[in-house]
Amino acid sequence: MSARSQRGWAARTDVGRIRSHNEDAVLADPPLFAVADGLGGHEAGEVASHIAVETLRDHAPRRPDASALRRAVRAANREVIRAAREGIGRWGMGTTLTAALVHGTRLTIAHVGDSRAYLLHGGVLSRLTEDHSVVADLIRAGRMTEEESRSHPNRSVITRALGTDPDLKIDVYEVDASAGDRLLLCTDGLTVALLDEQIREILAANREPEAAVRALVDAANDAGGIDNVSVIVIDLSADDTAGRGVRERERALRVAVTAIGWLVAAALILSGISFLTYRYARSRAFLIAEPDGTVSLYRGVPGSIGSVELRWLERRTSVRVSELPPARQAELAEGRVFDSVDEARAFLDALETPGAR
């Protein structure tokens, strides 16, 4: 079980009452949000769902760009297929993926499988996604009612998933919502347990997103908790809080980089470091563990020369030092030096590829 809350959104995933492990994965990294429901059993389903959300996070755009989001889902699909082929997880593992980019009231949604996105607008709950499942096909063909589908033995058989088809068809939607609307992303652990009307009532009754996700998970568990359940609730506002935060960080970074340029020039002169030393440092690169436990790539050299640090951030990554072999952890704590940025990049690419560590 995990919970995370910040202004305007909350996310929660829960193993349920019956299963021994949670094969769902959730991602809440504004402006990007996603749920994934892994298939394939223990040591496969959760591998697939986590690879999917992590690859999505690494590739997704930070702006409302439907085709870039589609490409990111495609990359996630490729990664799940590749992982299965290379023996990470199991052959035949797969995952659903329902992702949303939230920029104010502008939603960009990508979707594969039977997890869902819902929008609560003016007290009315509507589905933004169509299930890719056997029973959904039967309902669309008029051969089954929604009511009948709920007890159908094949209700959880899906017709599209990441991890099977390299040419996977991905649904992408752009939605103009309104301020005050509420977006819900969820796995089928919620929708198998609760009717849309019950979901609507809970969303309407709980003002805080954190309270809403708790109440939804509790209700699914009270209804039997037969599956893993994951929910993300996001309150939409006209001012693009998530997007603005990103833009402000980017602007602050640009200002800082300019200021650092001048400071380096002044410091070089003051500390008597020659231009040759400076140029040498510029030609080198290193990878180092950041205080937050991730790995970053810098141009320059670790440590300091005189009192001056000659390092320029090239790339922050989501590679976690703690997930690497002990020998790698030790060298990254000190900083591993390379003759060129390209060499460091190649090494980093290998680190970022699960299984090649």
If you ran DSSP here, which 8-state letter would residue 26 be given? E
Least distance in angstroms from the C-beta of 133 to Mn ion: 11
Binding span for Mn ion by CB under 5 A among 172-180, 220-228, 284-292, 302-310 = 220-228
Phi, psi angle pair for 37, to nearest 5°: -120, 105
Complex with Mn ion: residue 157 or 265, whichever CB lies closer: 157
The reply to whether 37 sits near Mn ion by the rule CB under 5 A is yes
Contact between 273 and 232 (Cβ < 8 Å):
no
Least distance in angstroms from the C-beta of 114 to Mn ion: 8
The reply to whether 114 sits near Mn ion by the rule CB under 5 A is no
Least distance in angstroms from the C-beta of 157 to Mn ion: 12
Residues composing the chain: 357
Complex with Mn ion: residue 17 or 121, whichever CB lies closer: 17
User: What element of type H or E holds 300?
Assistant: strand 294-300
Question: CA–CA separation, 18 vs 308, rounded Å?
Answer: 58
Complex with Mn ion: residue 209 or 225, whichever CB lies closer: 225
Least distance in angstroms from the C-beta of 38 to Mn ion: 8
Scan residues 182-211 and list those touching Mn ion (CB under 5 A).
187-189
The reply to whether 14 sits near Mn ion by the rule CB under 5 A is no
Q: How far apart are the first and last CA of the chain?
A: 28
Least distance in angstroms from the C-beta of 225 to Mn ion: 12
Least distance in angstroms from the C-beta of 155 to Mn ion: 11
Alpha carbon separation from 283 to 235, 238, 259, 346 (Å, rounded): 47, 46, 21, 16
Question: CA–CA separation, 33 vs 173, rounded Å?
Answer: 15
User: What element of type H or E holds 346?
Assistant: helix 341-352
Least distance in angstroms from the C-beta of 280 to Mn ion: 55
What does the per-residue mask of binding to Mn ion show for 309-338, with x meaning CB under 5 A? ------------------------------
Binding span for Mn ion by CB under 5 A among 118-126, 132-140, 225-233, 275-283 = 225-233
**Site size for Mn ion, by CB under 5 A?**
5
Binding span for Mn ion by CB under 5 A among 33-41, 129-137, 172-180, 306-314 = 33-41
User: Rg of the chain's alpha carbons, rounded to an integer?
Assistant: 23
The reply to whether 227 sits near Mn ion by the rule CB under 5 A is yes
Instruction: Look at phi and psi of residue 306 and say left if phi exceeds 0, alpha if psi is from -120 to 50, else beta.
Output: left
Binding span for Mn ion by CB under 5 A among 36-44, 132-140, 269-277, 279-287 = 36-44
Binding span for Mn ion by CB under 5 A among 74-82, 121-129, 219-227, 266-274 = 219-227
CA dihedral 20→23→28→31, nearest 10 degrees, is -160
Phi, psi angle pair for 211, to nearest 5°: -65, -35
At a CB cut-off of 8 Å and minimum separation 6, what does 330 contact?
none
* Residues making contact with Mn ion (CB under 5 A): 37, 187-189, 227
